[in-house]
Amino acid sequence: MPTVIIDNHPVDVTPGSNLLAAARKLGLDVPALCYMPGCEPNTACMACVMKRVDTEQIIPACATPAVDGLAVESETEEVRSLRRAALELMLSDHPGVTRDAATGVLRCDCDERDNCRLRKYAIAYDADPDRFAGPPRAEQRRYGHPQITYDSSKCILCGICVQLAAQLGEPLGLTVVGRGFEMRVDTPLGESLDAALTVAARRCAGACPTGALRAFDSAAPRG
């Protein structure tokens, strides 16, 4: 069984697993917003970074195989500040997020705030939504589905819903359209959300790390 070393703590890992799984085995709550076991890592968020001890390279834990002998830093102030910056970049155009000037408390007006992993880690890392602030993206809410809504302004382009829809055999599914700041997840060919997600809607909403995809009756915290 391979052993990796995280912050000087050896941890035995299942062959074929990644550094993120190793960190979780050690009890570390590393922010991983664009990764879900069973999906391919697409390293869109870079909130899960760690630093290799040997090369000092900054690496995404979700996409790095946990090979025997690999030693990394995870909870140092340097690594945590890089994660904080990644979270601040995601917050920079996220609508409805503000910081109370007097208390510094992060506030969010989203209905899904108690289930939102971006908010959870932004609070845990004391991320400043104003550090890289740009204009918030306009709300682009899509209804037309009996179980879920979709607001692309809250999407962080993790790609998990796109992968899940494909894995669950959706004939249409979801896709990424646009370029640069206009890039977003949408239905193909302007089809309705209902047509695009016939069986995968609830799984996609449950896996969405923000409130972009939301089940009408969502109550349970997201994993």
Binding stretches for ligand FES (CB under 6 A): 32-35, 41, 43-48, 60, 62
Spatial CA neighbour of 48 closest among 70, 68, 24: 24
Q: How far apart are CA 131 and CA 178, in angstroms?
A: 26
d(CA 71, CA 7): 8
Contacts to ligand SF4 from residues 161-220, by CB under 6 A: 161, 185, 207-210, 212-213
Binding mask 92-131 toward ligand SF4 (x if CB under 6 A, else -) reads ----------------------------------------
Out of ligand SF4, ligand FES, none, what residue 5 binds, judged by CB under 5 to 8 A for its kind, is none
- Quick one: tokens of 8? 């000087």
**Exposed (0-12), middle (13-18) or buried (19+): which is 58, by Cβ within 10 Å?**
middle
When CB distances are held under 5 to 8 angstroms depending on the partner's kind, the choice from ligand FES, ligand SF4, none that residue 35 binds is: ligand FES
Query: Smallest gap, in angstroms, from Cβ of residue 139 to ligand SF4?
Result: 14
- 157 touching ligand SF4, by CB under 6 A: yes
Write down the least CB distance from residue 213 to ligand SF4, Å. 5
Q: Alpha helix (H) ranges present in 94-146?
A: 117-124
In the complex, what is the shortest distance from the CB of residue 46 to ligand SF4, in angstroms, rounded to a whole number? 15
C-beta of 106 vs 207, nearer to ligand SF4 = 207
Minimum CB separation of residue 64 from ligand FES in Å reads: 9
Distance CA 42, CA 62 (A): 9
* Contact between residue 127 and residue 84 where contact means Cβ atoms under 8 Å apart: yes
CB under 8 Å to 55, separation ≥6 — which residues? Answer: none
Q: Are 50 and 19 in contact (CB under 8 A)?
A: yes
- Residue 32 touches which of ligand SF4, ligand FES, none (Cβ within 5-8 Å per kind): ligand FES
Query: In whole angstroms, what is the distance from residue 45 CA to residue 35 CA?
Result: 9
Helices (H) and strands (E) in the chain, counts: 6, 12
Distance in Å, CB of 210 to ligand SF4, minimum: 5
From ligand SF4, ligand FES, none, interface partner of 161 (C-beta below 5 to 8 A by class) = ligand SF4
Q: Which residues bind ligand SF4 (CB under 6 A)?
A: 155-161, 185, 207-210, 212-213
